[in-house]
Amino acid sequence: MSSLTTTSPAKVKAQGVKRSDFLPYLGGKLAAALVSFLVTLVIGFVIFSLMPADPVRTLTRGRPTSEAQLVQIRVQLGLDDPIWERFLTFVGNTLKGELGYSWQFQQSVSSLVADRIGPTLLLMGTAAALSIALGLWLGIRSGWRHGSLFDRIASSTSLALWSVPTFWLGMILLVAFSVGVGPIPSLLPAGGMSDPSLPQEGWAHVVDVAKHLVLPCLTMVLVVFAQYVTVMRTSIIDEMGSPYLLTARAKGLTDDAVRRRHAVPNALLPSVTMIFMHLGILVSGAITVESVYSWPGLGYLTYEALRIPDLPLLQGTFIVFSASVIIMNLLADVVYRFLDPRVRAQ
């Protein structure tokens, strides 16, 4: 922890980062991330080529299909190509930004991902922003006055909510607020992203989307914010014994000011890394929430792909999810370096 320094890092930050140190550092991290990504590609491909699959009969179920058609579809989907050929095509295409051709939607996976990434970012972005805000705020308050009633309520509530399976909480909220229970009328829409009978533009649309966003977002926030509370609370408690806080107090600053200007900025440091790493994971956490609420995003697309299973599509979403984790980890490293004077000094 940064308890050794009596200057709070928030002030150090203002001096900026020396470029000469930073670029090689960034380069190294970028290279590591790239290697990591390539390894992910290989692992992804291996997993998905092992999967036993005869998608053709599954896809054509429900339509009369002749033998000639079945053969034609196999050729069209490239199912009979040798495995090494498929691997080379796969790596080549991925590096070009093409993620293959979805079996069930019969269009390129990239275009499907492009269609669905917006709703996922909207849901996850909002959920992340809210849970970070809520988690950090609660964490700071609880840590600063740890042992108080506020602390006990905040930390135990978050602990209990953390112990709940996300999809179950989603179902319960769905029943409570959307199906409507007894005297409580149905308050919020049950699924989807917008009400198609309303115009799809303008202010009314934004309000409509926001209404649809409430339940899935609430589910995510409730399950996720606990982690931020715990981390932030711990860091604050760690900072509290630090000499620089005593110095600050001795200077006659109010309790509030000490917390805000000195304790919090220092305590944020360990939380930041965790928050960024967690953001990457959050995107894949979307799978359950989006499935429960029919939110038309990437997680839901994965769920759809799983049904067939539509391997190119699963592979594509897997790559996107991995890439988001890798990028967020990279950002965590970079941000950490910006914030922590000791890391920069090295």
Closest distance to another protein from the beta carbon of 325 (Å):
5
- Name the residue nearer to another protein (CB basis): 213 or 244: 213
What is the rounded distance in angstroms from the CA atom of residue 184 to the CA atom of residue 149?
31
CB 130 within 8 A of CB 217: yes
- Name the residue nearer to another protein (CB basis): 191 or 341: 191
CA 204, distance to chain mean position in Å, is: 28
Residue 340 burial (10 A CB sphere; 0-12, 13-18, 19+): buried
- Name the residue nearer to another protein (CB basis): 178 or 247: 178
Closest distance to another protein from the beta carbon of 56 (Å):
8
- Name the residue nearer to another protein (CB basis): 18 or 156: 156
Provide the 10 A C-beta neighbour count for residue 7: 13
* 101, β-bridge pairs: 108
Closest distance to another protein from the beta carbon of 231 (Å):
7
Three-state SS for 131? helix
CA 208, distance to chain mean position in Å, is: 24
- Per residue in 162-179, is it b (16+ CB within 10 Å) or e — as a string? eeeebeebbeebbeebbe
- Name the residue nearer to another protein (CB basis): 17 or 206: 206
Closest distance to another protein from the beta carbon of 182 (Å):
2
Three-state SS for 101? strand
- Name the residue nearer to another protein (CB basis): 55 or 100: 55
What is the rounded distance in angstroms from the CA atom of residue 198 to the CA atom of residue 210?
13
- Name the residue nearer to another protein (CB basis): 18 or 159: 159
Closest distance to another protein from the beta carbon of 114 (Å):
11
| Kind and range of the H or E run holding 293 | helix 264-293
Closest distance to another protein from the beta carbon of 307 (Å):
6
Can you tell me which residue has the tokens 């956490």?
285
Closest distance to another protein from the beta carbon of 157 (Å):
5
Residue 191: name the closest of 206, 170, 205, 207 by CA: 170
- Name the residue nearer to another protein (CB basis): 54 or 85: 54
What is the rounded distance in angstroms from the CA atom of residue 24 to the CA atom of residue 144?
39
Closest distance to another protein from the beta carbon of 113 (Å):
12
